[in-house]
Amino acid sequence: MHRYRSHTCAALRKSDVGSTVRLSGWVHRVRDHGGVLFIDLRDHYGVTQVVADPDSDAFQIAESVRGEWVIRIDGDVKARSDDTINPNLPTGEVEVYARQIEVLSAARELPLPVFGEPDYPEDVRLRYRFLDLRRETLHRNIVRRTEIIASMRRLMGEAGFTEFSTPILTASSPEGARDFLVPSRMHAGKFYALPQAPQQYKQLVMASGFDRYFQIAPCFRDEDPRADRLPGEFYQLDVEMSFVEQDDIFSTMEPVIREVFREFAEGKPVTDTFRRIPFAEAMRKYGTDKPDLRNPIEMEAVTEHFAGSGFKVFANMIANDPKVEVWAIPAKTGGSRAFCDRMNSWAQGEGQPGLGYIFWREEEGAVAGAGPLAKNIGPERTEAIRAQLGLEAGDASFFVAGNPDKFAGFAGDARARVGTELGLVDETRFEICWIVDFPFYEWNEESDSLDFSHNPFSMPQGGMDALDGDDPLSIKAFQYDLVCNGFEIASGGIRNHIPELMIKAFGRVGLDAKVVEERFGGLYRAFQYGAPPHGGMAAGIDRIVMLLVGAKNLREVTMFPMNQQAQDLLMGAPGEADAAQLLDLNLRLIPVSKDD
Amino acid at 50: V
- Angle between the 136-158 and 246-264 helix axes, to the nearest 10 degrees? 140
DSSP 554: G
Rounded CA separation 414/58 (Å): 63
DSSP code per residue over 102-146: EEEE-----SS--TT-----HHHHHHTHHHHTTSHHHHHHHHHHH
d(CA 106, CA 114): 15
3-class state of residue 439 by DSSP:
strand
Identify residue 332 by its one-letter amino acid code: K
Greatest CA separation found in the chain?
92
φ, ψ (nearest 5 deg) of residue 577: -100, 140
- Is pTM beyond 0.85? Reply is yes
Of 210, 206, 207, 212, residue with least CA distance to 256 = 212
Contact, 548 vs 261, CB < 8 A? yes
pLDDT tens across 6-53, in order? Answer: 999 999 999 999 999 999 999 999 999 888 999 999 999 999 999 999
Domains for the chain: give ranges and CATH numbers.
14-105 (2.40.50.140), 138-267+477-497+532-579 (3.30.930.10), 295-421 (3.30.1360.30)
What is the CA angle 299-302-304, rounded to 5? 165
- Distance CA(132)–CA(122), nearest Å, equals 10
CA distance 404 to 272: 32
- The tens digit of pLDDT for each residue in 172-190 reads 875 567 899 999 999 999 9
| Contact between 398 and 333 (Cβ < 8 Å) | no
500 to 90, 463, 512: CA distances (angstroms): 64, 10, 12
Q: Check residue 231 and give its pLDDT.
A: 86
Classified as helix, coil or strand, 155 is: helix
Q: What is the pLDDT along the chain (596 residues), one digit of tens a residue?
A: 999 999 999 999 999 999 999 999 999 999 998 889 999 999 999 999 999 999 999 999 999 999 999 999 999 999 999 999 999 999 999 999 999 999 999 999 999 999 999 999 999 999 999 999 999 999 999 999 999 999 999 999 999 999 999 999 998 875 567 899 999 999 999 999 999 999 999 999 999 999 999 999 999 999 876 656 788 899 999 999 999 999 999 999 999 999 999 999 999 999 999 999 999 999 999 999 999 999 999 999 999 999 999 999 999 999 999 999 999 999 999 999 999 999 999 999 999 999 999 999 998 888 999 999 999 999 999 999 999 999 999 999 999 999 999 999 999 999 999 999 999 999 999 999 999 999 999 988 888 899 998 888 899 999 999 999 889 999 999 999 999 999 999 999 999 999 999 999 999 999 888 888 888 888 899 999 999 999 999 999 999 999 999 999 999 999 999 998 899 999 999 999 999 999 999 999 988 776 65
Q: Which of 317, 334, 333 is nearest to 325 (CA)?
A: 317
- What span, in angstroms and rounded, lies between the C-alpha atoms of 254 and 207? 25
Provide CB contacts within 8 A for 138, sequence distance 6+: 132, 556
Selection from 212, 125, 87 nearest residue 562 by Cα: 125
